[in-house]
Amino acid sequence: MQHIEFFHIDHFEKNYHRVKPQESLAHLIDFFWETDFEGLWQQYPEGFSDALFPNVGYTYLINLGTPFTMQVDNTLFDMKTDGFLPRHKAIECYHRPGNVLFGIKFKISPVIFKTKINFAEYREFIYPLSYLMDHATIDKVKRVSSFGERVDVLSSYFTSIIDSYAGSWEPIRIVSEILEHCYTQNDFKTAVEDFAAKYNISSRTLHRYFETTTSLSSKKALQIMRIRKAVEQLTNSPENFNYSIYGYYDHSHFYKHLRQFMQKETLKNLQPHLKLLGKLHKGKEK
């Protein structure tokens, strides 16, 4: 069984715990999550997969159970321990009985305050989480007994980093403000040069800030954000959908971007972009 983001909505809502971060972390973290698959193994004794489309930012994965297999684009990784992975490519996780995962979905990882890591150098594979988080903190997350406790442990951990280093690195503030503005205002038409001028920096510098903090160019990050917002509305409220809300010039412009976004080798026969457009047509018939 393959569960697909935007299609198998019930699966992702019922079998994943999700909670948003406290307000002080909201500009950096999208949400904390943890799998809850105990009720599924009888139905899927050989396992199942969960497929997700590209996103902005990074995910930290902490393995609370048995080994699992993660596919990033077309590359498979056998995961026995913990890792962090870029989210700008399609991913698919192949779950087997005994799998339990805890994760943090970042816009920008707060660790960048502390290590000054350049995320543009870590965007092709899954990397050991120990590159970014000390073993003592990872072990503490694994020792506590509940999802809520794990969230509390890491909220305190990331807050302490921000309190110690906040204000020391301007690129984080600039990129997080632009991402927040574009997401909340559906502003996908403002030129990068205009954003750069607002912060009194060059467009080349702004591109470098985006690559360092998110691994992506400013254009790529905002394009992914735009299509995801459009697809979310198309999925949840097709009768109210209009491509122009998200800055697409016409239907063909939107269709081209939708098709590129939903291309995934294991979904070739499904043609998910056409299935979503079918929902749009049904919505308008109501």
Task: Check residue 168 and give its pLDDT.
Answer: 63
- pTM here is 0.89
Residue type for position 140: K
Which segments of the chain belong to CATH 1.10.10? 169-286
Strands 29-35 and 48-52, how do they pair? unpaired
Domain 169-286, CATH number (from 1.10.1060, 2.60.40, 1.20.120, 1.10.10): 1.10.10
Burial call 22-38: b when 16+ CB within 10 Å, e when fewer: eeebebbbbbbbbbebe
What does pLDDT average to in each consecutive run of 10 residues of the chain (286 residues)? 93 96 92 95 95 94 95 90 92 95 93 80 86 92 96 95 77 92 92 94 93 91 94 88 88 89 77 74 54
The residues near 148 (Cβ < 8 Å, ≥ 6 apart) are: none
Q: Determine the 3-state secondary structure of 157 from DSSP.
A: helix
Radius of gyration of the chain from its Cα atoms, rounded to whole angstroms: 19
Residue 145 pLDDT? 92
2-165 folds as Jelly Rolls (2.60.120)
Strand 58-63 and strand 68-72: the pairing is unpaired
Tell me where in the chain the CATH 2.60.120.10 domain(s) lie. 2-165
Task: Report pLDDT for 284.
Answer: 52
pLDDT of residue 121: 83
Q: pLDDT tens digit string along 226-253?
A: 999 999 998 888 888 888 999 898 888 9
**What DSSP designation does 94 have?**
E
pLDDT digits (tens, 9 = 90+) for 68-115: 999 998 889 999 999 999 899 999 999 999 999 999 999 988 888 777
